[in-house]
Amino acid sequence: MFHREGQQILLIAIILLIGINLFSVNFIQDQVVQYIIFGVTLVMFLLVAQFFRNPKRNFKRDPNIAFSPVDGKVVVIEKVLENEILKKECYQISVFMSPINVHVTRYPLSGEIYYSKYHKGKYLVAWHPKSSEENERTTVALKTEKFGNIAYRQIAGAVARRIVNYAQENDKAIQCADSGFIKFGSRVDIFLPLEAKIEVEVNEVVKGGLSAIASME
């Protein structure tokens, strides 16, 4: 299954794959070269296809658990002052996505979306300490049942130059449902109250909508 954000790109990729190989068959006599061209174009198409994959997952929604919004590796767990919307000290958990990860962003919790804003910015590498505040990004804040007000931030990186954000203010966020997509790898920060129990460690690999990153009793 492929994500809707990749449908147009995959269609273009298929057309290019067919067109290049038709040209090769009709205008290049050397069969070895034809096979090489076919192999290279097929590999390139498969790389693009795997990037936009959206595997089916069995989600178990729970208001007492905040799930990872994305697939990737936990790179930051620390207390920070979140100044954009929450205006208080929180736990920041950052998950870095490589180009081979699934790139769907999911709502970590259910709740009311009361803030959703896009910011222009730089394209520092996603693990840079200042990328959360200086890079191109979107910030979304939710009013949740158990965690109170939380926020998460999609951050562009040195390669990722396209952030898609579906969250609209006053809409209802459904835990684990699609909330956006980041093309070609980057990072997501989630900001949770200090009362939350952190359930992950730095360098742990997590799955979006499946891995619990924090809980509330």
Nearest to 137 by CA among 158, 121, 152: 121
Q: Are 197 and 216 in contact (CB under 8 A)?
A: yes
Q: Are 122 and 128 in contact (CB under 8 A)?
A: no
Q: Are 106 and 70 in contact (CB under 8 A)?
A: yes
List the catalytic residue out of 68, 116, 186, 211. Answer: 186
Helix (H, G, I), strand (E, B) or coil at 53: strand
- The residues near 89 (Cβ < 8 Å, ≥ 6 apart) are 79, 80, 81, 82, 194
Does the annotation mark 186 as catalytic?
Answer: yes
Nearest to 178 by CA among 2, 3, 1: 3
- Give me the active site residues, please: 186
